[in-house]
A = this chain, B = another copy of it.
Amino acid sequence: MMHPFDPLTSEEIYRAADVVRPHFGRHRPNFRVLTLQEPPKQQMIPFLEQEHQRSQRSPQRPVRCARVEVVVELEEEKNALFELLVDLDQDKVIAKQHQRGKHSYIDAEYMKQVEAACLADDRIQDQIRTLDLPEGSVVVVEPWAYATDGENDMSQRLSMCWFYLRLGGHSDYNYYAYPLDLCAEVSENLGVVKIYRLPTSPNERINNEQRKFDQRRIHSSSLSEYHPELRPSPRTTTKPYQVVQPEGPSFSIQGQKVSWEKWTFRVGFNYREGLTLHDICYDNRSLFYRLSLAEMFVPYGDPRAPYPRKAAFDLGNDGAGINANNLQLGCDCLGTIKYFDAWHNDSNGKPVKMPNVVCCHEQDDGLLWKHTNFRTQNAVVARSRILVLQTVITVSNYEYIFAFHFSQDASIHFEVRATGILSTVPAEMDAGKVPYGTRVAPGVLAPYHQHLFSLRIDPAVDGHANSLVVEESKALPVNDPAVHNPYGVGYISESSTVECEGGHDLDFTKNRTFKIVNENKMNPITQTPVGFKLLPAYSQMLLADPQSFHAKRSEFGKHAVWVTRYEDNDLFPAGKYTMQSSGGDGIASAIAKRNASGQSKSVRNSDIVVWHTFGSTHNPRIEDWPVMPNEKMIVGLKPVNFFSGNPGLDVAPSTQEKNKSVLYDENASDGTPCCRSKL
């Protein structure tokens, strides 16, 4: 029996495509998306309530629907994008909409076609010949989605093609170490529409100067290669480290439902957001309806044309789901691992299996809590176990590791690790330092850029009527006769409840804290509303000018915390269609439209969504080259006066009998097992 939050099965994908196909007559639809259309929340609420109560009556299941995107070649529009909804209970299309002027995401298959078209073009080959590249080297073309800069008609898709040199021989040579100064623009229908040479010094601009490749750029593979076959032998000092769970893991999984240490939730997955989490409860109390990474934006700070076109919406343009890695046991994940597979579709609408896109495993997390009674010297200590739901995506050069961590103290953390390879551009060997990039290898500039993530938090804190509260800690005044603060040391917290949709900023200097509370449920002991607080990641917001296309397209990058009224299908803070978007589709515009049309509603004590923007201003270090050690960003959600005490207090104290640690023996000779067991 499918659960309403379960992703489409392969059979459902197959069937939805069959239902859609006849609606385009003689036109062959290119299937871009065949995914679950999640049911309206108003239908899910009673369903989940019955489920939570373990009611005998089986709850009424909402209609099972698929959301479908196809591109069709019409006479009047070469690449017409349609969005359809398919009722899978009745096998019929219940909505069909022509998304005029919108574009579907970019994928590896299309990128390969663009690369091939580029390399097949005689003018490109002429340019490559002028470069006079080293014998045996290979030219690689990396197509990027075009970030709107106002210079071209955006009604058709346009790809920016960046050229690199790969040293010959091994197919895993790091071609980002040899960016070429060649650039091309390719139309949706694979025509090369423009070719030019890139600037290679701060004062240079796009040009037609046919410079040769500077042979001095060829450098030692130890500086720029990451593949073990292309590197000196690795260090051998790291001894094996294994996680053993002799009684198996503490989680149990039925289908997409995960149960672990009083937590229950459902694992979702779709082509765009990748991993999503649904109906998250602790000890049978509802906390969150849905958690998801909603968008990410990676704008580059190099001001020279055409680099302002480098600004990727890695979810909207590329998809965290379809770019998810096939995770490997013992490599990506340690311990006892449950892998979740997912299904996508090919252009014919056939299901395509994506194995191991999410892993689920436990980790030891050091100490959860400890106290030693100094009078008795009795110590009680509990170790912290966490449950990790991890997915890793590859978007061209970059990798992102996304993980939700569930803790025994009822907190959730969302961890992002950025890794992979920097996007590089050519720089003259003799050009000096530029203020918007870092030289990471001879002739290679890694331009400054930002990574801005939007975490969408759809709360259900003890129910669906929630409020956002902003709390600050401030010193009591001194010398105010109305205030008792005789020694000038008193401080208090002040709260205000947010009434309107909008964006807010962080301020650690005021200890500004954002809480999601349920004003209808008071904690009987603290006498305050039950809630969860956001532990934000303090990050610089979007640097681009507010009038720039970057800013208009990524409105969520303006503020760190947004609150909106819940609306079905309102999942994306930069809009549903981000490919070559030109602004006005984001979270701020949506709020402004509702306000202008008089549809604004209070967000107090209602079904709200909280969006947290965070990320990094990534001014590369050379230590990020050629593959960057992960840069970690962590966001947390923690109960605040929600329970009646420490939710992890009932975790059993740690014992050596269970944990079987080992004492290091300094006298053991090197290289032999050097530990003795102590129970």
Each complex incorporates copies of this chain amounting to 2
Contact partners of A242 in chain B: CB under 8 A: 243-246, 658-660
Q: What is the distance, in angstroms, from A666's C-beta to the closest C-beta of chain B?
A: 5
Contact partners of A335 in chain B: CB under 8 A: 241, 661-662
Contact partners of A628 in chain B: CB under 8 A: 369, 646
Query: Are A641 and B623 in contact (CB-based, < 8 A)?
Result: yes
List residues 604-660 of chain A with CB under 8 A from any CB of chain B.
617, 619, 621-630, 638-660
A649 to B421, CA, bound (A): 12
| Interface membership of A347, Cβ < 8 A | no
List residues 182-234 of chain A with CB under 8 A from any CB of chain B.
203, 223-224, 226-228, 231-232, 234
If A240-B246, A366-B401 touch, does A547 touch B441 (CB 8 Å cutoff)? Answer: no
If A234-B651, A245-B239, A629-B411 touch, does A664 touch B253 (CB 8 Å cutoff)? Answer: yes
Interface segment among A3-11, A61-69, A564-572, A668-676: the answer is A668-676
List residues 371-429 of chain A with CB under 8 A from any CB of chain B.
371-376, 378-381, 383-385, 392, 394, 396, 399, 401, 403, 407-411, 417, 419-421
Query: Are A487 and B149 in contact (CB-based, < 8 A)?
Result: yes
17 more contacts with CB within 8 A, not counting A252-B670, A440-B526, are: A150-B487, A235-B651, A238-B250, A241-B335, A241-B364, A242-B244, A242-B660, A249-B664, A252-B666, A331-B379, A334-B383, A368-B629, A436-B491, A440-B525, A509-B541, A623-B642, A623-B646
A419 interface neighbour in B260, B370, B638, B670, Cβ under 8 Å: B370
A439 to B641, CA, bound (A): 10
Query: Are B617 and A645 in contact (CB-based, < 8 A)?
Result: no
Query: Top 9 A-B pairs ranked by shortest CB distance?
Result: A303-B490, A330-B656, A488-B545, A409-B629, A488-B548, A435-B492, A338-B664, A234-B652, A330-B659
Query: Are B240 and A245 in contact (CB-based, < 8 A)?
Result: yes
Q: What is the distance, in angstroms, from A452's C-beta to the closest C-beta of chain B?
A: 12
Question: Which residue of chain B has the shortest Cβ distance to A252 in the bound complex?
Answer: B670
Query: Are A261 and B235 in contact (CB-based, < 8 A)?
Result: yes
A448 interface neighbour in B383, B399, B492, Cβ under 8 Å: B492
> How many residues of chain A get a CB closer than 8 Å to chain B's CBs?
194
Interface segment among A264-272, A470-478, A588-596: the answer is A470-478
Q: What is the distance, in angstroms, from A118's C-beta to the closest C-beta of chain B?
A: 14
| Interface membership of A584, Cβ < 8 A | no
If A243-B243, A243-B364, A252-B670 touch, does A337 touch B370 (CB 8 Å cutoff)? Answer: no
A–B Cβ pairs within 8 angstroms, 5 of them: A251-B664, A301-B492, A308-B487, A329-B662, A366-B401
List residues 284-309 of chain A with CB under 8 A from any CB of chain B.
299-305, 308
Query: Are B236 and A652 in contact (CB-based, < 8 A)?
Result: yes
Question: Which residue of chain B has the shortest Cβ distance to A673 in the bound complex?
Answer: B248
Q: Mark A13-30, 1 if CB is under 8 A from B, else 0.
A: 000000000000000000
| Interface membership of A496, Cβ < 8 A | no
A370 to B629, CA, bound (A): 8
Contact partners of A311 in chain B: CB under 8 A: 489
Contact partners of A336 in chain B: CB under 8 A: 661-664, 675
Contact partners of A494 in chain B: CB under 8 A: 435
A486 to B494, CA, bound (A): 44
Contact partners of A617 in chain B: CB under 8 A: 473, 491, 511
| Interface membership of A72, Cβ < 8 A | no
If A490-B303, A664-B253 touch, does A368 touch B438 (CB 8 Å cutoff)? Answer: no
If A239-B247, A664-B337 touch, does A627 touch B540 (CB 8 Å cutoff)? Answer: no
Contact partners of A642 in chain B: CB under 8 A: 623
| Interface membership of A139, Cβ < 8 A | no
Contact partners of A548 in chain B: CB under 8 A: 478, 487-489
| Interface membership of A254, Cβ < 8 A | yes
| Interface membership of A131, Cβ < 8 A | no
Q: What is the distance, in angstroms, from A511's C-beta to the closest C-beta of chain B?
A: 4
Query: Are B545 and A656 in contact (CB-based, < 8 A)?
Result: no
A373 to B164, CA, bound (A): 14
Query: Are A623 and B490 in contact (CB-based, < 8 A)?
Result: no
Contact partners of A649 in chain B: CB under 8 A: 226, 231, 626-627
If A374-B394, A625-B646 touch, does A261 touch B240 (CB 8 Å cutoff)? Answer: no
Query: Are B303 and A489 in contact (CB-based, < 8 A)?
Result: yes
Q: What is the distance, in angstroms, from A267's C-beta to the closest C-beta of chain B?
A: 13
Question: Which residue of chain B has the shortest Cβ distance to A449 in the bound complex?
Answer: B491
Q: Mark A560-590, 1 if CB is under 8 A from B, else 0.
A: 0000000000000000000000000000000
Query: Are A171 and B376 in contact (CB-based, < 8 A)?
Result: yes
| Interface membership of A113, Cβ < 8 A | no
Query: Are B650 and A622 in contact (CB-based, < 8 A)?
Result: no
If A441-B525, A646-B628 touch, does A372 touch B401 (CB 8 Å cutoff)? Answer: no
Q: What is the distance, in angstroms, from A248's C-beta to the closest C-beta of chain B?
A: 4
If A261-B238, A653-B228 touch, does A643 touch B623 (CB 8 Å cutoff)? Answer: yes
A441 to B641, CA, bound (A): 12
A371 interface neighbour in B490, B511, B627, Cβ under 8 Å: B627
Query: Are B478 and A436 in contact (CB-based, < 8 A)?
Result: no
| Interface membership of A101, Cβ < 8 A | no
| Interface membership of A57, Cβ < 8 A | no
Query: Are B493 and A661 in contact (CB-based, < 8 A)?
Result: no
Query: Are B369 and A627 in contact (CB-based, < 8 A)?
Result: yes
Contact partners of A237 in chain B: CB under 8 A: 250, 260-262
List residues 305-340 of chain A with CB under 8 A from any CB of chain B.
305, 308, 311, 325, 328-339
Contact partners of A133 in chain B: CB under 8 A: none
| Interface membership of A549, Cβ < 8 A | yes
Query: Are A474 and B543 in contact (CB-based, < 8 A)?
Result: yes
Question: Which residue of chain B has the shortest Cβ distance to A444 in the bound complex?
Answer: B525
A494 to B433, CA, bound (A): 12
Query: Are A650 and B232 in contact (CB-based, < 8 A)?
Result: yes
A366 to B210, CA, bound (A): 46
A16 to B543, CA, bound (A): 61
Contact partners of A334 in chain B: CB under 8 A: 364, 383, 659, 661
Query: Are B234 and A650 in contact (CB-based, < 8 A)?
Result: yes
| Interface membership of A121, Cβ < 8 A | no
